[in-house]
Structure 1
Amino acid sequence: MTERYRVRVAEGDQIKAGLAMQMVALATCIPSDRMVSRQRQAPQVCRARWLSMYLTHVGFGWSLERVGHAFGFNRSTVAMACRWAEDARDRPELDAVIERMEATIRDICEGPALVLAPGAPS
């Protein structure tokens, strides 16, 4: 099976999953376009993608299925990624980075949406 797992995803979910992926890209110096590539990737790229999935799951409180839809993978793939990330958090330096990324997501997303042009149609 070479077809990508795809389910219609709300624009807001795409944006939030993209935020998690960009944060991981910044922290790991692995471009997000490599994380979403369907071609075989080096282990560090796969782990960056897994970390993005995990951050989306814990940062936004999404179900594994919802994360899978946003990333184009099934729920069991996301579950495996989350298990890897939980185990990786045993490394204090990685745990500290993940904790900061989670806090950043909460800080950005818990506030009201920013209106850039009040009164103008969006």
Structure 2
Amino acid sequence: MQSPDGDVLGAAAGHGAGPVFLRLATCRNRLACRLAREIASAFFAVPVPAIASPNRAVAPVCEARHVAMYLAHVVFQVPLAAIAGAFGRDRTSVAHAVRRIEDRRDDRVFDAMLTRLEGLAHAVRLALEQVPDDAHDAGVAR
């Protein structure tokens, strides 16, 4: 079965999740990683291109990047492999970054800061999840 724009609708065509659903998941994951980078960039005053850079970085950039990866994984529920692709890193590097952030939560000040960032990221996630319903309720086509 094809959609109006010619895409094969995966499950209906007998292909499991199918290409349409995989593309939607990929777009969702990339958006979530971008939002996590933007949140970390604004909080740590580190430019987004520095956070997104695949190169090694100085400590403030590295911390912002690790927090962005953590938010993408924990709040936005993006798989480690997808985060790795979005950040130009290996999956094991992302796992290391997430573990480092989790280990630092023993520090009360760091934990309080991360809790605020998680709250912000959760609010953004909830707002995005409401967009299609709001558009539909207003009579706007999806």
TM-score range (shorter-chain normalised) is: 0.7 to 0.9
1:112 aligns with 2:130: yes
Tell me, which stretches of 5 or more residues in structure 2 are unaligned? 1-22
Residue 108 of structure 1, CA deviation: 2.6
Q: Distance in 2 between matches of 1:62 and 1:13?
A: 6
Aligned residues: 115
- One-letter code aligned to 2:124: I
Q: Which residue of 2 aligns with 1:96?
A: 112
Aligned twin of 2:41: 25
Change (3 A) 1:35 1:53: same
Q: Does the aligned pair in 2 maintain the 1:30–1:48 contact within 8 Å?
A: yes
Identity, % of aligned pairs?
30
Runs of 4+ in 1 over 4 A off after TM superposition: 118-122
TM-score if structure 2 supplies the norm length? Answer: 0.68
**TM-score (normalizing by structure 1):** 0.77
Residue segments in structure 1 that go unaligned for 5+ positions in a row:
1-7
Q: Which has the larger radius of gyration?
A: 2
**Alpha-carbon RMSD:** 2.5
